[in-house]
Amino acid sequence: DAKTTQPNSMESNEEEPVHLPCNHSTISGTDYIHWYRQLPSQGPEYVIHGLTSNVNNRMASLAIAEDRKSSTLILHRATLRDAAVYYCILRDYGSGTYKYIFGTGTRLKVLA
């Protein structure tokens, strides 16, 4: 079962910031929080990941709560090309390797 909880859908206006929340109350101390997004008719693509501290890259920022039970992906200025399904993922360790357990994600709609 997915170890994360996300809203099914969100909307944003173009050029405005977007905050995509994720709850992961069962996270363990060594679990990284990963975010991927999936554009229509494409495979998922990596966005960002982090452990404890907030993280920034050219695509987005990741804000992690102090207790690590929730996180927020921040797109600073949404564009129409950011319309996608965003997945917040934790690793699941078993049989000697880490695996990702995908939930249903958040479908982001960007309004022009």
Which residues of the chain form contacts with other proteins (CB under 8 A)?
2, 32, 34, 36, 41-46, 49, 87, 91, 95-105
What is the phi-psi region of residue 68: left when phi exceeds 0, alpha when psi lies from -120 to 50, beta otherwise?
Answer: left
Distance in Å, CB of 14 to other proteins, minimum: 25
Looking at the Cβ atoms of 43 and 112, the one nearer to other proteins is: 43
Distance in Å, CB of 99 to other proteins, minimum: 6
Distance in Å, CB of 48 to other proteins, minimum: 10
Looking at the Cβ atoms of 14 and 51, the one nearer to other proteins is: 51
Q: What is the DSSP string of 16-80?
A: S-EEEEEE-TT--TTPPEEEEEE-TTS--EEEEEESSS-EE-SS-EEEE-TTSSEEEEEESS--G
